[in-house]
Structure 1
């Protein structure tokens, strides 16, 4: 079964998430010299800032120079655009690290910005796929109010993305949530990851998490990933997101 960790508020969730990420980092570095991690955008980035940057407990435990950071999905926009997931990560993690004395930052992999706006979206996806490692040690996922994760959306319009088995990165067109054009990891990337971790906060997520945890609803991409890869899946949620949802309430205690 997937592990579900519940916290009273954003601060305690960020602390638990950071503890989990450091544990996955350490497991990866016991086996090799790099930690391959993929992140999502949105509120997850604030949790990374609070846990990995602001929380002093983890300052000396994060080996940033061994981190190789990728993006689960990306909006096909300029990197400084407010919608860019890379841009959000830079603001929440990379820029604050510059003010930390002696800190070495991670290696980050962004889309080819020179192709933005040229109607070369399949090429943007293919080039990003060429940057991916053989496997990921950890993929941090979000969950939208519609049950999407990465830019894998529910419904007929986007079922081609869930059916894709050859491409590891695909162009998501006509996204129901702007910007319309994105690239996204496909299911084979998630399937091969060592660990998958969803982060979801707020009352707006409660209806969809009820469908994921109680209804085991695989019509929702987040539910499909949770059910199909459950031995690799963890969820970090706040109390508001799982109010009245029948789950065991526990926090992450380490491996």
Structure 2
């Protein structure tokens, strides 16, 4: 059985506000130590309120680099773009001056250099699907084993059979090397998936296990 810290909240609004405050504190600490801070965040609809709350935090945002944990192979102006979601919810208000690193580079090699320059991640926030994927590490994707490997490249293109387009994702070694990891989940379906993922088994069957077993502090934040 995988052991991780778990925090349950009375409602989703409280979860989003409290997680934003916690992440802001951790970014301040990273900045105080390094003079810079790197934050990776998920796309999708669930984290939107968290990102909006974080956008109002009092931080040295011009020294904060923000990047998506993964991105769909779509235009950055597409409604399905994680870049667009992050730009519209986080890179505004007090956080308008933060540097948002796009994962839309057509050539993965060029993108790798840009991402490598801001690693390691100081704070990593991830979501998780009911299928136990995280970032774009999807069960059943032909590239999953390569993305989970200790010698995986920084960024890898993934073609999950369950998804309508290819994706780019930060790979397991990059995610596992973060200084601190938060996993944000809501709803009973994802809670049930988490319980399955916490059981012993291969990461290929439940890719979120790759981060649940990371050597850094990992906390799961849940609200119904």
Partner SS state of residue 41, structure 1? coil
Residues 175 and 139 of structure 1: CA distance in aligned 2, closer, same or farther (over 3 Å): farther
- Length-normalised TM-score, structure 2: 0.87
Q: Which residue of 2 aligns with 1:203?
A: 188
Q: Which residue of 1 aligns with 2:73?
A: 76
Partner SS state of residue 132, structure 2? coil
Partner SS state of residue 163, structure 2? coil
- 1 CA distance for matches of 2:48 and 2:39? 17
Task: Give every structure 1 segment of 4 or more consecutive aligned residues whose post-TM-superposition deviation is greater than 4 Å.
Answer: none
Partner SS state of residue 76, structure 2? coil
Partner SS state of residue 221, structure 1? coil
Matches within 5 A, 1:119-198: 123=107, 125-132=108-115, 133-155=118-140, 157=142, 158-163=144-149, 165-179=151-165, 181-198=166-183
Q: Which residue of 1 aligns with 2:97?
A: 105
Residues 37-69 of structure 1, C-alpha deviations (whole Å, 9 max, x = no match):
11110134313244224xxxxx45333222101
- 2 CA distance for matches of 1:70 and 1:44? 17
Structure with the bigger percentage of helix = 1
- 1 CA distance for matches of 2:6 and 2:218? 9
Greater CA radius of gyration, 1 or 2? 1
Unaligned runs of 5+ in 1: 54-58, 116-122, 241-255
Q: CA RMSD in A?
A: 2.1
Q: Which residue of 2 aligns with 1:41?
A: 43
User: Are the counterparts in 1 of residues 140 and 160 from structure 2 also a CA contact under 8 Å?
Assistant: no
- Length-normalised TM-score, structure 1: 0.77
- 2 CA distance for matches of 1:175 and 1:21? 33
- 1 CA distance for matches of 2:17 and 2:77? 28
Shift of 1:144: 0.6
